[in-house]
Every structure is written in C-alpha cells, then in structure tokens.
Structure 1
Amino acid sequence: MLDVLTLDQLRTFVTVADSGSFRSGAVRLSRVQSAVSHAIANLEAELRVTLFDRSGHRPVLTPEGQALLANARDILLRVDAMRARARGLGEGVELELSLTVDTLFPIKTVGAALTEMRVVYPAVSIRLAVEPLGGPITALIEKRSSLAILVGEDFRDPRIALEAISSLEQVAVVSPKHPLGLRSKRVSVVPQGVV
C-alpha cells in the first residue's frame, strides 16, 4: 500500500496544511491548484483516509490528517537530514565532532559555539564530554575525542598541537578555615597572571 507514496505528495500535504488552503499551497509550490488537489487526492487514496475536510470555505485537517501530518513532517525532516549529510560527505565534512572540554572552561561559551556550528553543519553530530584537569588531553591521546579545550598550560604533551583560543580570568578562593585562609586576616591581591 505505502510503496507508491512519493516525497512530492508528502511535501504537498505539509505545504497545504501549513498554508491553510490548496490555492496558497499551490502558490508556495509554484504549481497550479489542480495539480496540488490531484496530489492530495492520490495521497488520500494511497493512505485510504481523508486528510482534509473540504466541506467548508477552506480545507480543514481531519483528525486522521492531523495525526498523519506529524509523520509526514518527520519523514521529510529525515530525508532532508540525509541529503544534508550526503552533501557534507561529498564536501569532506566529518560525520561527528567529539569534543572534550575542561571543567574550568565556561560551558556557556562552548554551547554558543556549538549552536553556531549546528547552523553551518546541521548534519554533523556532536559528542561532548566535560572532564577535569588533564582529562581533555587524555581524551585526545586515548582517541576518545578529536578536539579538546583545556585551561592552562600545565598539561602539555608533545604529540598534541595546542592553539590559544581565548584568555580566561581565574580567581583564587579558599575557605576561611583553610591554612591559606588562616595565614593573614588582611586582604591581599594576587598579581594578575599568578594563580
């Protein structure tokens, strides 16, 4: 039964539902209204359900049409994702970015960068991990990650190429009960760059 469904029929169905009429759908699809009506009628025949109630001035989705609209959107989204991934493969874009971030690096900054990346490369999946201290470098060495963001220069490895992406202000804080907190009650300022 469903073997003869076409993506064109599904796109037509979604477009008519979104635009609210066969005429508006035809305009959006740059087709004549009769072609759009015919595509919807063929889809209804294939599915054996009525998608639109045509008794009023404008077609209204039936309960069956409403239920199947979500499926049609999902199918079209997956097809578009497949096309984008295929296009990316043809252009040499990686399928996945595995990123490990130091716990001291602001995760909000990472989130903003990944959001921008998602716009440009929607087909690339992202695997994100957050690890303390030398975790990002270890993740690279163990090949659990293809990219890492770390804070500081203490965790160097000659096998890893480092590149500075930003500066990060750090503030040293201790508990009043810690030995450093008990040393002196006067406030002292740590010179910038010394932590």
Structure 2
Amino acid sequence: MDIGPGMALTARLKSGETLGDRVMKVDHAGEHGAVCIYSAQRWFARWRAPDMVDELDAFLAHERSHRALFFAELQRRGRGRCRSYVWCGIGGLMLGTITGIAGRGAIAATTVAIERVVLRHMREQIAALEGVDEPAVRTLTIIIAEEQEHHDLSAARLPSSGVWQRLIDPIVSVSTEAVIWLGMRL
C-alpha cells in the first residue's frame, strides 16, 4: 500500500460526490481526531505537563473551530460525515491518552508529526482544488495558518535530539498518512 505524498488525493468517489466533497469529509474526520487527541492530552497534562495546559487549550479551541468549519461546509454541500469519523475519534483518544501520560516531550512530538503530515496534505488539497472548488479552498486556507502555528510552537518545545521525536514521529506520521489514505477511499 503506497501512502506516500500525493496519494491521498486519489479517492474512490461515490456517485455525485466531488473531490472537494471527499476532502471536506476526510478533513472533518481528521479534525475530530485532533479534538480527541488534544482533549486527552490536556486531561493528563494537568499532572504530567501543567505548563502546557494553556497551549493545549488554545490548540483544542482551534481544532474545534476547524471541525465546525468543515461541518458547516459539509452541510452546505448536503454531505454527511466520513465513515472514518468515529475511528478518528477513537484513535485520537488512544493516542492522546498514551502521549498525555508520557508527558511534555511526547505531546509536542505528536503535534509536530501530525501537523507536518496534515499541512502537506492541506497544501496538496488546495493545489488540486484551486479553480475547481473555491469554497473548499477557502475553508482549507482559513485553517492552515493555525495548523502551522501548532506545528511551530510544538517544534520549539522539542530538543534537537529528543527520544520522543525519534520514537513517535515515524509511528504517528505513518498512522496519520494511513488514516487519510483510508478516509479518501471509504
């Protein structure tokens, strides 16, 4: 299974569904996963990384807003949510719990890994949808700056040779790619 760069934009579309529709569905599910990750991390950060709680609150507020933007766009299009929505939530809670228990470095490494993949996919989505689906492009453009902020703030927390980044990055990156790939095909 090739889930490398560019592969997520190939989709098995349902009758009458556009690429923009599918992107909105998959990204909505991904934002739900992010809400679940940050919710679980925040809960454990109260004990494991109290200095990160305010930052996690801000990230969580952004992700809830992003999920709402994608949901509003899905409603405008008359489309339901992605079949991967529930699985993204469950996976997000599990990942957030594990990394929240592990503490500061694991929380930051998780955010960097996820956001790096998400930002690349969103930029690819914008490139594929420009001139084809401007409402989808506008929605993605609104969100991308905050996702970049999450990445950059978390990257600044990581030591240059941290164990959490070496451990978490490949696992979370491949998992995020796989979830996007599957979402585009379910």
Q: What band does the TM-score fall into relative to the shorter chain?
A: under 0.3
Higher percent of residues as helix: 2
Larger Rg: 1
Higher percent of residues as strand: 1
Q: Normalising by structure 1, what TM-score?
A: 0.24
Higher RCO, 1 vs 2 (CA within 8 Å, ≥6 residues apart)? 2
